[in-house]
Structure 1
């Protein structure tokens, strides 16, 4: 029995191991570093956030629905969702603004009203995103100002008034300075006022604004027309104040201002107070806008060198400037006289009420300040 066992053990010593192809024999002093791991799956960890985002994205997709009732309900739901959020870091606000802009031109008044409410929330919570989308927002606003529908034209001033009176100087100034000629033209079109010519001769170069259907009653009552004109004049006052009147004067007393001595080159080394201060030199890529000062200079040269009869329309819509003096010069050259005449005609209207006259007098006072400065 024992001899059989010894014989088997001797055979094992001389037995040759069968190795797999491509693998060598493992040495006896090798240490195995293999280990087994188990994956821990927490299936409900982000379920709540993911479901909320999916629900919001679904709501955003419904903003293109053909039914105005559906869009109105979705907008109200989005307002409630924003009000529930402590912060909008996880909220798709950028996509929301993209979907909201076309609704400025929606045919339904209830949809436009809900859109205005939602923009109010975004201006308070995310003004930096509004600044990023300012160019496209202005395009829709200008389209609304010249829309064939009277209701859409009337509501356009509500949207513009919201952006002009946000209380956030960076947002308001960025909107005004970048789109100064376009906004002036749009508001004067709504009011049905004409701009003054550059020089009163047959060869004058002018930027004329014709009367449109916004000045026609279209069966509306006189009270509604007066309220509409009051809102338009208030918006024009806000626009002129931001674009021309120096609203950044120091509120300190003369004694404090005399006691403080500031080096004249201090502003050069400070952080700019305007958005994109180097846009005029195209430092950060090509720009479609030109400097307002150069546009005015070329316009005057064109007027002096032109031999054609009749007035020619100036293409100044693409000009922009962060320089308040350039904006003021543009306003004085092309719009001040026409707006003053329109305001004086408004005061002469027989059905002009106290509120309308009060707002018109405020506009005339601002014009007189600009003329005297």
Structure 2
């Protein structure tokens, strides 16, 4: 009996709650882990630091390598781009030796996912063209146009919108714009048709169906995106006028191709100014001729039987007019007629003006074909 009472008291003692006074902690258990220690740590930013023993050229190349990587910290890239823009205005001679590397990185930034970087890159283009640094643009033009064409059909709407600004920047300079329309006439027109959701004969070339990256015109106006369409029509009109209409001087007369010539054939014996003057000859391209192609005489055909329009030369104005009217004419005319009926007066006016220019170009084409 005495042992059972002793066991009951022992159990009551084990499960008894201790009354603690205010400000005092409960006693620690024997198996409790002490977590009161602290660890000191040093955290470093992801920004790369430049060592003191590096030369200025090596340091600048490291900055460019940081700039072209989209995974790098955005603030670091913005700081480097701001530094380049500032040096372009203050000490342009110091960057002349790195202009080739800057333009290569600039081509990658055309499709950068950061809107701020694309805008700063566009400011760089505008500043270079304003300062007369167009030689580098001509040398890297094929790369620039490759990324611009890729941006025009990009899945991100903001990149598609900015691609028009880049193209407008290239077309705004008198020296660069002729090379743009000569080297990438078909691709730019095809991408404009895709961007506008217009049809063309290029869709039947056997290279797959056209992707639709935009809504139709009525849906577009209901979403209040007519401002973007105005910019696209403006750039398209500038490109078509540069590629198909005779250039007019300040006096209203057509410009001559070269005003300083001793003999009409002097330019044939001079060094060409183009980076690839014999690209139209397709010296290193295998071309399959077919006699039953109606669009162009001697055009190349792909394996599926369609016309490979990318192989056609657009160095001459006549060929550009021919391609515009035969390949893109019907869809362009139909789309411009639809846009000219919109409520937006600016968009309707620009569409009517471009439609009138195209109809005059089409008349010239029909007269040349009838002769």
The answer, yes or no, to whether TM exceeds 0.5 is yes
Contact kept? 1:104, 1:140, Cα under 8 Å: yes
The equivalent of 1:186 in structure 2 is 191
CA distance in 2, matches of 1:75, 1:325: 42
The Cα of 1:250 is off from its aligned counterpart by 9.0
The equivalent of 1:27 in structure 2 is none
* 1:285-343 Cα deviation digits (max 9, x unpaired): x469999xx993244x969xx9x9xxx65321243332111111111111122101000
The Cα of 1:197 is off from its aligned counterpart by 7.9
Alignment of 1:1-373 (within 5 A): 52-63=56-67, 64=69, 66=71, 67-87=73-93, 90-125=96-131, 126-166=133-173, 168-169=174-175, 171-196=176-201, 210=210, 212-215=212-215, 222=222, 224-247=224-247, 251=251, 265=265, 268=268, 276-281=276-281, 286=284, 296-299=296-299, 313-349=306-342, 352-373=343-364
The Cα of 1:78 is off from its aligned counterpart by 0.8
Alpha carbons of structure 1 residues 356 and 290: separation in structure 2 relative to 1, 3 Å: farther
CA distance in 1, matches of 2:211, 2:235: 19
Which runs of 5 or more residues in structure 1 are unaligned?
Answer: 1-49, 199-203, 255-261
* 1:213-239 Cα deviation digits (max 9, x unpaired): 32269x998575111000100111111
Contact kept? 1:195, 1:334, Cα under 8 Å: yes
The Cα of 1:368 is off from its aligned counterpart by 1.6
Which runs of 5 or more residues in structure 2 are unaligned?
Answer: 1-53, 255-261, 365-371
CA distance in 1, matches of 2:91, 2:307: 48
Greater shift, 157-166 or 117-126, is seen at 117-126
Contact kept? 2:87, 2:95, Cα under 8 Å: no
The equivalent of 2:51 in structure 1 is none
TM (norm. structure 2) is 0.68
Contact kept? 1:157, 1:235, Cα under 8 Å: yes
CA distance in 2, matches of 1:364, 1:340: 7
TM (norm. structure 1) is 0.68
Contact kept? 1:191, 1:214, Cα under 8 Å: yes
Structure number with the bigger relative contact order (C-alpha 8 A, sep ≥ 6) is 1
The Cα of 1:148 is off from its aligned counterpart by 0.7
The equivalent of 2:26 in structure 1 is none
SS of aligned partner of 2:235: helix
CA distance in 2, matches of 1:94, 1:348: 47
Contact kept? 1:179, 1:320, Cα under 8 Å: no
Contact kept? 1:102, 1:140, Cα under 8 Å: yes
The Cα of 1:245 is off from its aligned counterpart by 1.2
CA distance in 2, matches of 1:88, 1:358: 47
The equivalent of 1:12 in structure 2 is none
* 1:40-96 Cα deviation digits (max 9, x unpaired): xxxxxxxxxx95544432321221252333222221221011111243664401001
Contact kept? 2:201, 2:328, Cα under 8 Å: yes
* Equivalent residues, number: 299
CA distance in 2, matches of 1:252, 1:266: 26
